[in-house]
A and B are shown apart, each in its own frame.
Chain A
């Protein structure tokens, strides 16, 4: 059978980097072909070439047997290639219909938009592929999972046969991920072909028909799902054997470090986001907070780290009341914070690595003496941390905006872990990272725990919670429904709690 899409010897050079080195990949009709690789391996560059956003330096693209030059997204759209970008290309203040028809508008005579006809077509597509959307809703009001559906409908609206999904699950909750894959199955059944770009092994193993692994801009190998396993793929992707499961000792818990009582926190819209939450975290243990995104975890973390103040309740850190303490005091008492949005809250993106590494200690000796920053000390500190924490960068003076997500996160971890800390608040510490970085961050967190640090881990990735936590608290609509032991509780039970189902007392 002839492939619907055939990329042959695609090469793309950026100044100083060979992003794609003679990559060849084919896609069969009705297939889900996964493109697996770490961040920065060249997956997205390759797909941007296919979508006409970049021009390849070498190589040919064949669609349904015909050689094509794709210079603009328009050429790709005409050839039946559609792409759902990792960061959605949706306009928040437009309706679903407007977003979908943009660029391919239905018109009434005289150049006027025919929103009704477009909405009818959208309804038709939603029915055919079971993609429920409300055409007249504004995109800004939709949850992320639905926004993704809008993106998929956008492709189907243009009659795309070849769908590229770039890291589609990065922003989704576990339930939304399952839904997405049901949709993908339905699409494939109806004759569409899908390229799935991802770095998550579990997804690849569960949903892809074939997998091509890319590392350092090169194809390492292509394998059918039936003929490979997670460990083999992980090794191909990272280039060495890696531990998928963290070995950890049983926790040796000591004194209470963080004590939270009856906490009530409002969100930016003055709605109750955290209601009557109480828990404690002891030295030497990891308390995991599980829950679907948007159930109050963000506000809880903001209250604990002093970024917002609770309206009711008390927070004690090492027996000191920090309920209304400023951030600086909380930090100096020994709280480390790995924020949920590393680029917005964790780093000053335009600053160098060395400056980011002293963001919360710059005013102290030895970094500052007599109001003057000690550049030499700061640089030495940075160089040491870059090597200790394995931050891959040309130099410690590189701006953090030039680093990959994994290395950005390592900068934050290096900054927070190089201080004497008593409590670590880690919010989505591995979101959007590749396998190698995830493994690294996980190991570091467990190390901190074993050193006697209290760890509060907030994550929407249930796997992560189950692997790292000694106790798991499940948050649902701002409340903690239960605190359970992950060793004696199944994934399913926690999953039900995450959906708000509390088991009846025996």
Chain B
């Protein structure tokens, strides 16, 4: 027991020489990949056209046309330079950032290669990526709220699904704002059930979450088959319209990609700020994180551990409910069976990839959304890779991340453990 402190003292920022070398080799391999796979397979006279405004935008920007091979060579050279520096000196704590940069070079190279001889709507690709990221990022935020207080919530998927159902039903019966309200409420109530199981009855949190997921799939499928599919009026909620942010949406390229969306997309950006500030700069955040790291320490300082956890889990559930509403009110305007299709779990992956941090999770969610968006575009580009493989991208990245290649994450230390006063 007396040694327990020593084990806690490990520093997470240490970068071993092996890791430095491995990273350097990865950088070089990616650079080599750009050259060997892409640059060498195009003919010198080929050109790539990137369209910089998505359809329907009022701001017209000329297409970006460049010769493919020189661009790929520049990208490969830049990647190789970074790799060489990494091997020789190392970027230290910036290693992961540089890994991101090199990966971005690779993806850009891939796009340039894929679109060589034809054109690709880059703005459209990114715009879709932002939209696809929404349920993942909101799901990740739900996970952050729960797990930062020390409760695992793998029921996000089920909460989103049930909330989507309620959004469709009450959106059709009353109006979409009421549907949104009920969706958030549904998420909150389901989270309360999880909280009671996990906190009061100390049920294993993974099992409690799984049970809720199975329940959600069952009940929504049943009720949907019984009522929503049969009476069309009950499944016609409509959806939130697009609202262009004044001024900002007029910025070329950036405007249509980021500032011409519906409520859910803006909410995602507002929540990332709100959540970051709340977690790291307020009393509530400090206490919530303390409870998730070392509940006993918080208890000895007069903080009510279980109350703090109830609040966080219910807030997390409401976030999941909001994310669920997106599927109906922000996207297709109707409910379909199991329409969340595992997005809640990918959201958790984004949370882990983002190291339980709102900004990191936003980045991770965007990346996953991008892969999703890319997979659908590739069919058009006639790239000789089956798009199912690209759809696997996010999951493969998640596994690589979980295996610790990008560096070990720092999960809340008391996650998943019920607090016992002794």
Contact = CB atoms under 8 A, between A and B. Distances in A.
10 contacts: A77-B302, A90-B294, A94-B290, A98-B286, A102-B301, A103-B301, A111-B282, A140-B8, A170-B2, A269-B14
Given A111-B284, A147-B5, A171-B5, A91 B297 contact: yes
Interface of B: 1-11, 14, 16-18, 281-284, 286-287, 289-290, 293-294, 296-303, 410, 413, 421-422
From B282, B286, B410, name the one whose CB has the most chain A CB atoms within 10 angstroms: B286
Contact of B2 (A98, A147, A431): A431
A185 B287 CA distance: 33
From B9, B290, B413, name the one whose CB has the most chain A CB atoms within 10 angstroms: B9
Contact of B287 (A86, A102, A170, A269): A102
B2 A171 contact: yes
A72 B306 CA distance: 14
A73 B300 contact: yes
Interface string A108-121: 00011100000000
Interface string A125-155: 0000000000000001100100100000010
A270 interface: yes
Contacts of A171: 2, 5
A37 interface: no
Nearest to A294: B6
A144 B6 contact: yes
A87 B4 contact: yes
Interface stretch (A214-222, A235-243, A316-324, A336-344): A336-344
B91 to A, nearest CB: 19
A113 B410 contact: no
Nearest to A293: B6
Contact of A72 (B1, B296, B302, B413): B302
Nearest to A170: B2
Contacts of B18: 270
A102 B300 contact: no
A53 B14 contact: no
A51 B2 contact: no
B205 to A, nearest CB: 20
Interface of A: 51, 53, 72-74, 77, 83, 85-94, 98, 101-105, 107, 111-113, 140-141, 144, 147, 154, 170-171, 268-270, 340-341, 343-344, 405, 431-432
B293 A102 contact: no
Ranked nearest first, the 4 interchain pairs of A and B with the lowest CB-CB distance are A103-B301, A74-B302, A89-B297, A341-B3
Contacts of B289: 91, 94
A102 B18 CA distance: 39
Contact of B11 (A53, A98, A107, A141): A141
Contact of B299 (A73, A105, A340): A73
Contact of A87 (B1, B10, B16, B413): B1
Contacts of A87: 1, 4-5
A140 B11 contact: yes
A343 B6 CA distance: 14
Nearest to A75: B302
Nearest to B293: A91
Given A98-B286, A270-B16, A103 B303 contact: yes
B6 A107 contact: no
A105 B286 contact: yes
B303 to A, nearest CB: 5
B3 A340 contact: yes
Nearest to B4: A87
Nearest to A105: B283
Contacts of B302: 72-74, 77, 103
Contacts of A344: 3, 7
Contacts of A92: 8-9, 293, 413
A89 B299 CA distance: 9
Given A53-B422, A102-B301, A112-B281, 5 more contacts: A53-B299, A88-B5, A90-B294, A111-B283, A171-B5
A91 B6 contact: no
Nearest to B301: A103
B1 A343 contact: yes
From A83, A91, A170, name the one whose CB has the most chain B CB atoms within 10 angstroms: A91
A78 to B, nearest CB: 9
A116 to B, nearest CB: 12
Contacts of A113: 281-283, 286
A140 B282 contact: no
Contacts of B11: 140-141, 269
Contacts of B284: 111
